[in-house]
Structure 1
Amino acid sequence: MEATMLVTGITGNVGEHVAEHLIARGCSVRGAVTNTGKAAHRWGSKAELVRFDYLDESTFDDALQGISGLFLIRPPSLADPNPMLPLIVRAKERGVKHIVFLSLLGIERNPLPPHYRIEKYVRNSGIPFTFLRPSFFMQNLNTIHRTDIRDRGDIFIPAGKAPVSFIDARDVGEAAALAMLSPELHANRSYTLTGAEALTYEEAAAIFTRVLGRIVTYSNPSAGQFRREMVRRGMPREHVNVMITLYFTTKLGLAKRVTPELEHLLGRKPATLEQYVQDYADYWR
């Protein structure tokens, strides 16, 4: 029987591209989603869709049935990683042979974000793993921060003046798919993934200004200002706190590192921030 890959977060920034690359390479894909009807509009017959919820263990067995590889992602709404442990335990019991986990840049030295404990859960399970530790996703700028850029011409992020090695989620999705398709090459390895250059948010704002043809600034709010504004907009406080923790590590300069690992995995140069802004320009218009 043909092996099937389970992709959690198949409707998200990275999971979507993981699935696309797996399918393009002839792999059978099952997407774990909270709403199969909604996801069907995107995937049609290209991927099998199954209802899945980290907080409902009764959904695990259907998702894991016949699965060879698992692309694992922490939903942004899940600030507490403990509900992910039962899935990892069940994956071991059901014979999953490889887990590719979307982790976080520098997490091996930072126990505060939930990704640290999730890596530990996966490692302790005994399932061969690949940890992808990417830098700040460019696509956060057209999702979480889209409204500020589009309506106010402002990158509203409390990250200070340190450089960031921005990375395109499309590249990360391709790297994850390649790791899943060749587990023998990537088992029990961790990759620090970055773009090809590190830019400050001031430099990023200048790129937006040039490509969009209108002024975009970087206001660099304090953590307190950011927290109050995000909570006022209705974002769960726990989610906001995770974001502030991540942006604080950026402020400390921990996101400026540039590595060649993504280029080695892809066999080409990573996408630039300028190319990303050009490709996604309609999001801010």
Structure 2
Amino acid sequence: MGKILVTGATGNIGKYVVENLLKCGVSVRAAVFEIEKNDLSCETVEFDFLKRETFAGALEGVDRVFLVRPPQLANPKKDMRPFLEEVAARGIKQVVFVSLLGVEKNPVVPHRKIEDMILEFSIPYTFLRPGFFMQNLSTTHAIEIKDRNEIFVPVGNAKTSFIDTRDIGAVAAQCFLHEKHLNKSYSLTGNEAIDYYQVANTLSGVLCRKITYKNPGLLNFRRKTINRGIKKEYANVMTMLYLLTKMGTAKKVTHDVENILERKPISFEQFAIDHKNVWL
């Protein structure tokens, strides 16, 4: 078994992929944007999807790749294709790609376009298609919860089968460790679908203060998200994904996490307890 390159190695999923692989004694190279700004306990290499000159050093001696799309890269043909071309040219044995729940029915999102490119290049793959990350609430939406005691998400009463990124990282590691996961696609969710009113109630209980779900309109959400400092391209992707959620595409519950990990997925309440300091 050769070395695994983990892109996004300091991110919400990548750090748990690294952690799980190291526990299993696998040789890992962590791809990071800035080497000096990480505390990973493995080999690191500077890497940037937009800099071709970083590809060779990242892929040298690697036979498998964990791939996650940086959310700010909204044009896969321009931003991601050059790296996938290099991966294909080097005969990489497996790419485990973090895609999106329901992507097989949605050809317009960036994740689907990346899946299609991986298939086009005949790269052996495992597609992980998770629902919305619980960690979105402890990162992207953390400030609004901490400072304004609100959840500002435009999905109405729609339910979401949130998944903890710790579970995604654990699943990714298993997909590298066992060949039975090669050329498979998995839909990854938690074990229940809940709406944002339930999310707010759970957070209120854990934090011992009232958290309110605001439920803005889509255009209002996009405008305020941009005004709060999010790049327009990323705000557009967020708005599109929340529109799909409002249409009911995020409520699907599957058992792929439980089947692969042989345990129940982490619950939303446990996630809230584990991350409560973020919102205090």
| Residue in structure 2 matched with residue 142 of structure 1 by the alignment | 138
Secondary structure at the aligned position of 2:173 is classed as: helix
| Residue in structure 2 matched with residue 234 of structure 1 by the alignment | 229
* Alignment counterpart, residue 70 of structure 2, candidates 68, 71, 75: 75
| Partners of 2:254 and 2:211 in 1: CA distance | 28
The answer to whether the 8 A contact 1:158-1:226 is kept is yes
| Partners of 1:128 and 1:111 in 2: CA distance | 21
Instruction: In structure 1, list runs of 5 or more residues that go unmatched.
Output: none
| Residue in structure 2 matched with residue 63 of structure 1 by the alignment | 58
| Partners of 1:33 and 1:215 in 2: CA distance | 38
Secondary structure at the aligned position of 1:17 is classed as: helix
Matched, 1:262 2:257: yes
Q: CA deviation at 1:70?
A: 0.3
Q: CA deviation at 1:170?
A: 0.3
| Partners of 2:153 and 2:107 in 1: CA distance | 22
| Partners of 1:112 and 1:153 in 2: CA distance | 34
| Partners of 1:17 and 1:10 in 2: CA distance | 8
| Residue in structure 1 matched with residue 37 of structure 2 by the alignment | 38
What are the residue-to-residue correspondences of 1:174-189 with 2, within 5 Å? 174-182=170-178, 184-189=179-184
| Partners of 2:35 and 2:112 in 1: CA distance | 30
What are the residue-to-residue correspondences of 1:94-243 with 2, within 5 Å? 94-182=90-178, 184-243=179-238
Secondary structure at the aligned position of 1:38 is classed as: coil
| Partners of 1:55 and 1:200 in 2: CA distance | 37
Q: CA deviation at 1:225?
A: 1.2
Amino acid of the structure 2 residue aligned with 1:11: T
| Partners of 2:24 and 2:33 in 1: CA distance | 26
* Alignment counterpart, residue 269 of structure 2, candidates 256, 267, 274: 274
| Residue in structure 2 matched with residue 22 of structure 1 by the alignment | 21
Q: Deviations over 1:174-220 (max 9, x none)?
A: 000110122x2111110011000000000111101111111011000
| Residue in structure 1 matched with residue 46 of structure 2 by the alignment | 51
Q: Deviations over 1:26-68 (max 9, x none)?
A: 01111111101112xx11xx21111111111111011001111
Q: Deviations over 1:126-172 (max 9, x none)?
A: 12100000000000000000001111111111112111101000000
| Partners of 1:215 and 1:55 in 2: CA distance | 43
Identity of aligned residues (%): 48
Q: TM-score under structure 2 normalisation?
A: 0.98
| Partners of 1:160 and 1:266 in 2: CA distance | 32
Aligned length: 279
The answer to whether the 8 A contact 1:175-1:266 is kept is yes
Secondary structure at the aligned position of 1:100 is classed as: strand
Instruction: In structure 2, list runs of 5 or more residues that go unmatched.
Output: none
Secondary structure at the aligned position of 2:81 is classed as: helix
The Cα RMSD (Å) is 0.8
| Partners of 1:234 and 1:205 in 2: CA distance | 24
Amino acid of the structure 2 residue aligned with 1:136: F
| Partners of 1:68 and 1:245 in 2: CA distance | 35
| Partners of 2:176 and 2:88 in 1: CA distance | 16
Secondary structure at the aligned position of 1:69 is classed as: strand
| Partners of 1:118 and 1:85 in 2: CA distance | 8
Q: Deviations over 1:201-257 (max 9, x none)?
A: 001111011111110110001111111111111211000000001111110011001
Q: Deviations over 1:80-137 (max 9, x none)?
A: 1122111111112122100000000000001121001000011111121000000000
